[in-house]
Amino acid sequence: MKIFKWIKRILLGLFIFSIVMVFVYKWIPVPLTELMLKRYLVNGSTIEKEWVPLPQIANSMQLAVVSSEDQNFLKHYGFDFKEIQKILEQEGAPKRGGSTISQQTAKNVFLWDGRNFIRKGLEAYFTCLIEWIWGKKRIMEVYLNVIEFGDGIYGVESASQHYFGKSAANLTRSESATLAALLPNPREYGKNINGRYIKKRKNWILRQMSNLGGSLTFP
């Protein structure tokens, strides 16, 4: 039937397009994400964003997000199954999600926010693609340039300028840990980066950074 032929063509076209986009974003900065657009259209938030290459981001900042969000980032291939198992075994509601930095990057760049099975399936698909095509350095670079650090603040360079008045290249360990501490709820926590919760979480992240060796080295 013609309808099935058209469905097959559409699916094939989407498959090819997805691979092309992953290859394109391996080399060029990501200009906009679904979250940025949604915040702008729905909430009227501005878009404060400046892309910087990974060498211009302090190593302490890279280590801080690994320490707080995904300590096995350099060891896994997109999915941290051991961490997922730990979360599933927790009593009551999980204290944090099991998404890796790779998964968060795939969702932020290519998908929309949501928790349905279709979106999660596509997230797994794009996670595999970026792990294979981009590699860890590019994933970290894109992640740090698109994640939300406050209302209308996207990427570590804009966050560093907004909160500390300096370039991301010059962030100290303490400042890096503070920015990483915002990530669970940046629009709320960004209102008071010197609050009790942020200080407590920052100190925890600093301890994790020391436990991981004090610096991040890509293989």
CA 2/CA 90 separation, integer angstroms: 50
Q: How would you classify the pairing of strands 153-154 and 148-150?
A: antiparallel
123 and 101 Cβ atoms separated by less than 8 Å: no
Q: What is the pLDDT of residue 117?
A: 87
- 0.85 exceeded by the pTM? yes
Please say if the pLDDT value at position 206 is more than 70: yes
Tell me what the pLDDT averaged over the chain comes to: 91
* Inside any domain, residue 78: yes
Angle between helices 59-69 and 136-146 (to 10 degrees): 90
Residue 217 maps to a domain:
no
Query: Could you read off the pLDDT of 92-116 as tens digits, one per residue?
Result: 544 455 799 999 999 999 998 877 8
pLDDT of residue 80: 83
**Helices and strands, number each (H, E), in the chain:** 11, 3
Residue 84: pLDDT band by 50, 70, 90 thresholds? low
Per residue in 7-43, pLDDT (tens digit) is 888 888 989 999 999 999 999 999 999 999 999 998 8
CATH number of the domain residue 160 falls in: 1.10.3810.10
pLDDT at 112: 86
Q: How far apart are CA 102 and CA 161, in angstroms?
A: 25
Instruction: Report which residue type is found at 72.
Output: N
What pLDDT is attached to residue 145? 98
pLDDT at 202 over 90: yes
Specify the pLDDT at position 94: 42
Confirm whether 204 is domain-assigned. yes
Q: Is residue 198 part of a domain?
A: yes
Asked if residue 118 has pLDDT above 50, the reply is yes
Phi-psi region of 78 (alpha: psi -120 to 50; beta: other; left: phi over 0): left
Q: Are 15 and 9 in contact, with CB atoms under 8 Å apart?
A: no
Q: Decide: helix, strand or coil at residue 114.
A: coil
DSSP string covering 35-93, please?
HHHHIIIII----EE----GGGS-HHHHHHHHHHH-TTTTTSSS--HHHHHHHHTSSSS
In this predicted structure, what is the pLDDT of residue 93?
Answer: 44
Q: What is the pLDDT of residues 131-180, one digit of tens each?
A: 999 999 999 999 999 999 999 999 999 999 999 999 999 999 999 999 99
User: Three-class SS of residue 213?
Assistant: coil
Query: Is the per-residue pLDDT at 3 higher than 90?
Result: no
**Is 157 a member of any domain?**
yes
Q: In this structure, is residue 70 part of a structural domain? A: yes
- The parent domain of residue 104 ranges over 2-211
Residue 219 lies in a domain: no
Is the residue at 120 inside a domain? yes
Domain total of the chain:
1
